[in-house]
Amino acid sequence: MSSFLSCLCYTICMTKQQLMDDLKREIISKKICLDLANQATQLVMGDGNPDADIVFIGEAPGKKEDGQGLPFVGAAGKFLNEMLAAAELDRKDVYITNIVKYRPPNNRDPEPAEKRVFWPYLIRQLEIIQPKAVVTLGRHSGMAFIPDLHISRDHGNARWAQYHELKFLVIPLYHPAAALYNGGLRQTLIDDFLKVTKTIDQNIN
């Protein structure tokens, strides 16, 4: 077999998890966002099912995520897990990731340049997963897909997004960390969360 054919066969035969692992290795070997990488413990690629219909996208790993190598495992993650359970979803059935894959020092907001440099890799993750819907958590990931997003106006409202062949529904939600200790926002986020699967079914089926 020619090397082209064997390479093609290798790519076609790979599972989505293997493709995701390859992408992770590429980010590390190309030294993407080296400044953040040098200050972080590890790259946090994602968690859950790379064959999921729904992908949740947050901002960047925090201290706990940096330590464990998994997104949303701290206080915001606990709240996210509770909302997933209330919506009859499980972390194992969805995929969870962040725009920026390394922890920004002292949990500062990710900078525009950091979001820009990770954007093509986020799109490549979505190309591997081929989700029906992307649920953005917070304004950083929301505005990456919906530049004119006003979260107080647009939360819970689905829009279509298309990147070349890839087309999916985007549902912008508040960030669980922002809503955790704010009673009004907390209830709004829970209400929006409970509508996610219905919104997807109404728009897709």
**Which spans of this chain sit near ligand URA (rule: CB under 6 A)?**
58-62, 65, 71-72, 74, 76, 98, 177
Q: How far is the CB of 107 from ligand URA (least distance, A)?
A: 8
Q: How far is the CB of 149 from ligand URA (least distance, A)?
A: 16
Q: How far is the CB of 80 from ligand URA (least distance, A)?
A: 8
In the structure encoding, which two tokens stand for residue 87, read together?
A: 């919506």
If the CB atoms of residues 13 and 58 are measured against ligand URA, the closer one turns out to be: 58
d(CA 156, CA 176): 14
If the CB atoms of residues 4 and 104 are measured against ligand URA, the closer one turns out to be: 104
Where do we find the tokens 């790259």? 43
d(CA 49, CA 199): 21
Task: Enumerate the β-bridge partners of residue 134.
Answer: 55, 170
Q: Nearest residue by C-beta to ligand URA? A: 58
Q: How far is the CB of 62 from ligand URA (least distance, A)?
A: 5
Q: Degrees (nearest 5) of the Cα angle 177, 180, 183?
A: 140
Handedness of CA 109, 111, 116, 118 (dihedral sign): negative
Q: Are 123 and 55 in contact (CB under 8 A)?
A: no
If the CB atoms of residues 59 and 114 are measured against ligand URA, the closer one turns out to be: 59
Q: How far is the CB of 57 from ligand URA (least distance, A)?
A: 8
In the structure encoding, which two tokens stand for residue 117, read together?
A: 């440099």
If the CB atoms of residues 64 and 203 are measured against ligand URA, the closer one turns out to be: 64
If the CB atoms of residues 10 and 84 are measured against ligand URA, the closer one turns out to be: 84
Q: How far is the CB of 47 from ligand URA (least distance, A)?
A: 9
Burial (Cβ within 10 Å: 0-12, 13-18, ≥19) of residue 28: middle
If the CB atoms of residues 8 and 138 are measured against ligand URA, the closer one turns out to be: 138
Straight-line distance from the first to the last Cα atom of the chain, in angstroms, rounded to the nearest whole number: 42
